[in-house]
Amino acid sequence: MRKGSAKPGRGRRRGPVGRGRRLYRWPQMSATEPRILVVEDDDAIALMLEIELADAGYDVVRVARGDDALASMSRDAPSAVVLDIRLPDRDGLAVCRQARRDGYEGPILMLTALDRLGDRVLGLDAGADDYVAKPFAIEELLARLRAQLRRTTTARRVLECGPVRLDPDTREVTADGRAVELTAREFDLLAYLMQTPGRVRTREEIFEDVWGYDFLGESKVIDVFVSALRRKLASTPEDSIVRTVRGVGYTVRP
Q: Is the pLDDT of residue 14 over 90?
A: no
Choice between 201 and 18, residue whose per-residue pLDDT is larger: 201
Q: How many domains does the chain divide into? A: 2
| Residue 45 belongs to a domain | yes
SS3 140: helix
Domain CATH code at residue 236: 1.10.10.10
How many Cβ atoms from other residues are within 10 Å of residue 186's Cβ?
18
Q: Which of 96, 129, 155 is the last residue of a domain?
A: 155
Q: Mind listing the pLDDT tens digit for each residue in 164-174?
A: 999 887 889 99
- State whether 151 and 195 are in the same domain: no
- In the predicted structure, residue 13 carries a pLDDT above the cut 70: no
d(CA 119, CA 114): 7
| Residues 46 and 151 both lie in one domain | yes
Q: Are residues 104 and 204 in the same domain?
A: no
The CB-side HSE value for 117 (13 A sphere, CA atoms) comes to: 0
- Laid out side by side, the sheet with 249-252 consists of 201-202, 249-252, 242-245
- Cβ atoms within 10 Å, residue 78: 25
d(C-alpha 137, C-alpha 14), whole Å: 9
167 and 148 within one domain = no
9 is a domain residue: no
| Cα–Cα dist 64/76, whole Å | 15
Instruction: Please give the residue range of the domain that contains residue 139.
Output: 35-155
User: Is residue 93 located within the same domain as residue 57?
Assistant: yes
Supply the mean pLDDT for the chain.
79
What's the rounded Cα separation, in Å, for the pair 43 and 205? 26
Which CATH number does the domain housing residue 135 bear?
A: 3.40.50.2300
Q: Of 155, 171, 204, which one is at a domain's C-terminal end?
A: 155
Mean pLDDT calculated for residue range 185-195 = 90
- Examine the pLDDT at 7 and tell me if it is beyond 50: no
- My answer on whether 205 and 239 are in the same domain is yes
Its pTM stands at 0.54
Domain final position from 97, 120, 155:
155
